[in-house]
Structure 1
Amino acid sequence: MPTRTFLIGAARERPCTLVVCRGCCCGNPRKHPRTDHAGQVERLRAAGAEHGFQVRTTDCLGPCDQANVVVVQPSAAGRRSGGRARWVGFAMDDDCTEELVRWAAAGGPGLAEPPATLELQFIRPPRDARVRSRR
């Protein structure tokens, strides 16, 4: 007999979420002085409010040599369609920020294909994140 999964409450309708690293290297104006880190988060949050996706910041995600890192998590519908979190590295310029907005606004992983140029920035998550995702 097949296993049935029931989603309750907010998990049933959870939107696509961008998790923006703001740890030791990501978001650090001394290490990356030509990037408007605060402006990037403001722009993502404004777009999220407009298009219905969420934006969170977090402490260090791990791949510091690929800063700035953004994890694009699928919505509940995207996950049901097979979407999985995608890690984007080197997310520091306006073009990348705009591509993140367009992809999240279109539904994100599982519901919309990422822009081809954004795919070039996909990175492998750190080992501990890969282990956690298999649980």
Structure 2
Amino acid sequence: MSRRKTAKAAAEAAPRCTVTVCRGCCCGTAKVPGVDHADQLAQLKVEFGSVAQVRAVNCLDACEQANVIVVQPSPEGRAAGGRPVWLGLVNDPDATADIAAWVRSGGPGLAEPPAILELYEFGPSRRVRRVLEG
């Protein structure tokens, strides 16, 4: 096995959170003015490095909460009782930094989020939860 394949396999095997960033019809567009959406996504990817997988998706169907970020626990975090945390109106670099610090500390199930993130947390519709979490 090549060195590249070995490193990729090790990274994939490492338990880590998944951070899903909505970039659909409202999130990540000019409909949310004053936010550098590309920079926000790039900042998350840099902040997390190998600690979390960051993925951009087309639409999480929670447009009234744009920009939406969902932090899914690592396998270890899920075993400890962690569940996906939906965060909306994440339009401030400080909020992005708070999310990054929490995920670096272990994320859902393993670390308490900064108290300020309670202001961003929301519950999506059951239909949306089934699609993403199912």
Q: Calculate the TM-score normalised by the size of structure 1.
A: 0.84
Q: Which runs of 5+ in 1 are unaligned?
A: 1-8
1:79-98 paired onto structure 2 within 5 Å:
79-98=78-97
Q: Which amino acid in 1 is paired with 2:108?
A: P
Counterpart in the other structure of 2:65? 66
Equivalent position amino acid for 2:46 in 1:
A
Match of 2:4 in 1: none
Residues 61 and 128 in structure 2, CA contact (< 8 A), matched pair in contact too: no
State the secondary structure of the residue aligned to 2:128. helix
| Per-residue deviation, 1:129 | 2.8
The answer (yes or no) to whether the contact 2:71–2:85 under 8 Å persists in 1 is yes
CA separation of 1:10 and 1:79: change in aligned 2, threshold 3 A: farther
The answer (yes or no) to whether the contact 1:19–1:56 under 8 Å persists in 2 is yes
Which structure is higher in helix share? 2
How far apart, in 2, do the equivalents of 1:54 and 1:11 lie?
Answer: 9
Residues 55-105 of structure 1 show CA distances to partners (whole Å, capped at 9, x for unaligned) of 100011011011000000000100010100000000110111001100110
**Letter matched to residue 22 of structure 1:** R
Where structure 2 has 5 or more consecutive residues not aligned to the other structure, the ranges are 1-9
Q: Which residue of 2 aligns with 1:100?
A: 99
Which residue in the other structure is 1:38 paired with? 38
User: Is this contact kept in 2: 1:13–1:75, CA < 8 A?
Assistant: no
What is the Cα deviation at residue 10 of structure 1? 8.3
Q: Find the aligned partners of 1:56 and 1:17 in 2 and give their Cα distance.
A: 8
Shift of 1:132: 4.8
Residue 121 (structure 1) aligns with: 120
Shift of 1:131: 3.6
Counterpart AA for 1:117? I
| Count, aligned residues | 125
Amino acid aligned to 1:52: V
Normalised by the length of structure 2, the TM-score is 0.85
Alpha-carbon RMSD across the aligned residues, in angstroms, is 2.0
Check whether the contact 1:11–1:76 (CA below 8 A) recurs between aligned residues: no
After the TM superposition, which parts of structure 1 deviate over 2 Å for at least 4 consecutive aligned residues? 9-14, 129-135
